[in-house]
């Protein structure tokens, strides 16, 4: 659905055009003069404008120039009488896409609109690709690291990408599951088709079915028009379910049929709709364990489990930190228009010692905040903040010098005697996590959804951690 602005002082014509465009599935905004059109544009830029040459006050050609100042790539189709063709031609020289003479043929109008929208889409894609090329001097594979763990993941990606097999990506939150899913898509024969991602934890349970499968007009209160779901949007391409375990049990049976047969029905519909999609799902918990506790359907799990890729946590592949920090530093410099050169030795030592509970996502955000906060050529410990820990720096002040030791209580190190440094470090990190979860549960009055919000993690991760630490 595209948003189209009609600018014409003829009330009847505006009404007729609105009816034609709405039947084509477009959203319509109408204005009777230049002032109304500019106000509409200030609120929300449309995808296309139908503009009458003759308007009261500011004429169509003058308004065209103003619209182009606001959005130079906005496609504008001029509406003109035969006597105003010269003005329409002038408008095209100023950037109008095309013109149509009144009275116009409906089919001709629709065809010109489709051409204009298609041209706009291509222009945006070219501009996007140009920016990406300017910003990405290395391949995505090169930015992921060189550790044995990530090499194994990339090898699996190469193998599975050439097939249409369903893939389960399992790993902690922030390990880059969506990046891997996109990589599989880009390396497949479906790369020129849509990649549609669904954050299963962000959709209210009551809306999951309509989001996935779409709905018919009148299917429920507020369903004023037919709407495609994610399966239809992804037709020919890849459909990615992020945190699949958040799909309600009531919907899992319908999802099973859609995955198995590639057929489904709109909510409120009776007709089967067939699609050709590749399914990739991600989870931060073990799906087989979720099956055992009744949280996930056994038959759906086995239908999805054609190929399985485990993504390592950042603490399992710290040898990749130099590559990752360089990549995120360059990215942050571009995004924030800064020229930070690197990291102090102290910061890098801290990065290597830190347990990174938020994995790559946390690393990226820590670096971006540090680039914003620093006033020197290198990032120093003073620029590092960790919102998950209340925004406090995770190092101690020692005789005026920062150490790279995280804030821990003396009893955090209890019972570590005889353990390796790595084991002790991981145990200490776990104790911090457990303590934070308990405090959040108290603050939330036992409400897990509120506690997850306080901790800034999704519900699935919280449930997993509660089970891991056996928190009552």
pLDDT of 139: 61
User: What domain range is 13 assigned to?
Assistant: 3-130
Q: pTM, whole model, 2 decimals?
A: 0.56
Per the listing, tokens 């037709």 go with 235
Which of 376, 402, 428 is at the close of a domain?
Answer: 402
CB 87 within 8 A of CB 18: no
Q: 239 with 345, same domain?
A: no
Those residues of the chain that have pLDDT short of 70 are 82-83, 125-140, 142, 387-432, 456, 472
The Cα 243–Cα 283 span in angstroms is 5
| Same domain membership, residue 353 and residue 249 | no
Q: Within a domain: residue 138? A: no
C-alpha to C-alpha distance for 131 and 260, rounded to whole angstroms: 39
CA gap 355, 351 in Å, rounded? 8
Residues 158 and 304 in one domain: yes
- Please check whether residue 233 is in contact with residue 271, taking contact to mean a CB–CB distance below 8 angstroms: no
In a domain, residue 336? The reply is yes
What pLDDT does 188 receive? 96
Q: Are 328 and 261 within one domain?
A: no
DSSP string, 140-201: HHHHH---HHHHHHHHHHHHHHTS---EEEE--TTS-HHHHHHHHHHTSTTTTS-EEEEETT
CA distance 223 to 236: 26
Q: Which two tokens stand for residue 183?
A: 């990589």
Provide the pLDDT for residue 219: 83
Using left for φ > 0, alpha for ψ between -120 and 50, and beta otherwise, residue 356 falls in left
Same domain, 306 and 375: no
Structure tokens at 470: 């056996």
**Are residues 7 and 95 both part of a single domain?**
yes
The C-alpha atoms of residue 78 and residue 435 are separated, in whole angstroms, by 65
Please check whether residue 323 lies inside any domain of the structure.
yes
Sort 300 into a burial class: Cβ within 10 Å, 0-12 / 13-18 / 19+. buried
317: burial class by Cβ within 10 Å (0-12, 13-18, 19+)? buried
DSSP 215: B
The reply to whether 356 and 431 lie within a common domain is no
Statement to judge: residues 188 and 279 lie in one domain: yes
Instruction: Kindly report, residue by residue over 451-466, the tens digit of the pLDDT.
Output: 877 776 777 777 777 8
Give whole-number Cα distances, 99 to 52, 116, 143, 360, 464, in Å.
9, 11, 48, 51, 60
Say if 136 falls within a structural domain.
no
Residue that is last in its domain, among 286, 312, 338: 312
Query: Which pLDDT does position 86 carry in this prediction?
Result: 83
pLDDT at 391: 52
Dihedral angle of Cα 112, 114, 115, 118, to the nearest 10 degrees: 160
Give CA–CA dist 25/182, Å, rounded.
29
185 touches 192 (CB < 8 A): no
Domain assignment present for residue 135? The answer is no
Do 304 and 198 fall within a single domain? yes
pLDDT tens sequence across 353-399: 888 999 999 999 999 999 999 988 999 888 888 765 555 455 543 33
**295: CATH:** 3.40.50.300
CATH number of the domain that 358 lies in? 1.10.8.60
Question: What is the structure's pLDDT at 137?
Answer: 44
DSSP string, 216-251: -TTSSTT--S-B--HHHHTTTSEEEEETGGGS-HHH
Between CA 361 and CA 173 the distance in angstroms is 8
Are 180 and 367 in contact by the 8 Å Cβ rule? The answer is no
Domain count, the chain: 4
> Contact 377/340 with Cβ under 8 angstroms?
yes
Pairing of strands 263-265, 272-274: antiparallel
**Is 302 found in the same domain as 261?**
yes
The CATH number linked to 74 is 3.40.50.2300
Q: What is the dihedral of CA 72, 76, 82, 84, to 10 degrees?
A: -30
Q: What distances in angstroms separate CA 328 from CA 179, 357, 366, 367, one per listed residue?
A: 14, 18, 10, 7
pLDDT of residue 83: 66
Convert the pLDDT of each residue in 395-448 to its tens digit: 543 333 444 444 333 333 333 444 444 444 445 456 667 777 887 787 777 778
Task: Tell how far CA 313 is from the center of its chain.
Answer: 21
415 within some domain? yes
Q: What are the start-end ranges of the H helices in 355-446? A: 359-373, 421-443
> Is 463 inside any structural domain?
yes
Same domain, 56 and 168: no
- CB count within 10 Å of CB 108 equals 11
- Quick one: pLDDT at residue 141? 72
Residue where the block lists tokens 């600018």 = 7
Tokens of 128: 């996007």
Q: Of all residues in the chain, what percent are helix, strand and coil, respectively (each to 5)? A: 50, 15, 35
Distances (CA, A) of 223 to 71, 113, 228, 229: 32, 26, 12, 13
- CA 108 to CA 433: how far, in whole Å? 63
In a domain, residue 349? The reply is yes
Rounded to the nearest 10 degrees, the angle between the axes of helix 459-469 and helix 448-455 is 100
28: three-class secondary structure by DSSP: strand
Out of 99, 130, 161, pick the residue that ends a domain.
130
Question: Can you tell me the distance from the alpha carbon of 420 to that of 432, in angstroms, rounded to the nearest whole number?
Answer: 18
Same domain, yes or no: 319 and 305: no
């Amino acid at each position: 659905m595209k948003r189209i602005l009609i600018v014409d002082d003829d009330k009847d014509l505006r009404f007729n055009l609105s009816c034609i465009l709405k039947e084509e599935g477009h959203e319509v905004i109408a204005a009777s003069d230049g002032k109304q059109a500019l106000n509409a544009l200030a609120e929300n830029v449309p995808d296309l404008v139908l503009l009458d040459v003759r308007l009261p006050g500011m004429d169509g050609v003058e308004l065209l120039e103003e619209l182009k100042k606001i959005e130079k790539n906005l496609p504008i189709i001029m509406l003109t009488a035969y006597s105003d063709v010269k003005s329409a031609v002038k408008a095209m020289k100023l950037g109008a896409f095309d013109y149509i003479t009144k009275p116009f043929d409906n089919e001709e109008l629709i065809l010109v609109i489709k051409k204009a929208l298609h041209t706009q889409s291509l222009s945006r894609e070219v501009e996007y690709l140009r920016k990406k090329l300017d910003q990405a001097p290395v391949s995505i594979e090169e930015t992921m690291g060189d550790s044995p763990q990530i090499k194994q993941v990339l090898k699996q990606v190469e193998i599975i990408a050439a097939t249409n097999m369903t893939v389960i990506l399992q790993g902690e939150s922030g390990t880059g599951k969506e990046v891997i899913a996109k990589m599989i898509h880009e390396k497949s024969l479906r790369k020129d088709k849509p990649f549609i991602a669904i954050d299963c934890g962000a959709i209210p349970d009551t809306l999951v079915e309509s989001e996935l499968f779409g709905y018919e007009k009148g299917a429920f209160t507020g369903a004023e028009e037919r709407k495609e779901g994610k399966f239809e949007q992804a037709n020919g391409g890849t459909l990615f379910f992020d945190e699949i375990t958040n799909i309600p049990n009531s919907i899992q049976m319908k999802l099973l049929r859609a995955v198995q047969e590639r057929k489904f029905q709109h909510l409120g519909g009776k007709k089967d709709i067939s699609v050709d999609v590749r399914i990739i799902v991600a989870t931060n918990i073990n799906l087989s364990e979720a099956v055992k506790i009744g949280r996930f359907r056994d038959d759906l799990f086995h239908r999805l489990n054609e190929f399985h890729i485990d993504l390592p946590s950042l603490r399992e592949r710290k040898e990749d930190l130099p590559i990752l920090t360089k990549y995120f530093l360059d990215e942050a410099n571009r995004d924030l228009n800064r020229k930070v050169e690197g990291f102090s030795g102290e910061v890098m030592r801290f990065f290597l010692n830190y347990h990174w509970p938020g994995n790559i996502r946390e690393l990226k955000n820590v670096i971006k905040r540090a680039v914003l906060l620093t006033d020197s050529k290198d990032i120093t410990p003073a620029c590092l903040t960790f919102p998950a820990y209340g925004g406090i720096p995770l190092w101690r002040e020692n005789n005026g010098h920062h150490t790279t030791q995280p804030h821990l209580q003396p009893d955090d190190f209890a019972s570590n005697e005889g353990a390796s440094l790595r084991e002790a470090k991981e145990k200490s990190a776990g104790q911090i996590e457990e303590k934070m979860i308990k405090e959040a549960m108290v603050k939330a009055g036992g409400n897990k959804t509120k506690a997850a919000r306080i901790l800034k993690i999704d519900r699935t991760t919280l449930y997993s951690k509660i089970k891991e630490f056996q928190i009552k």
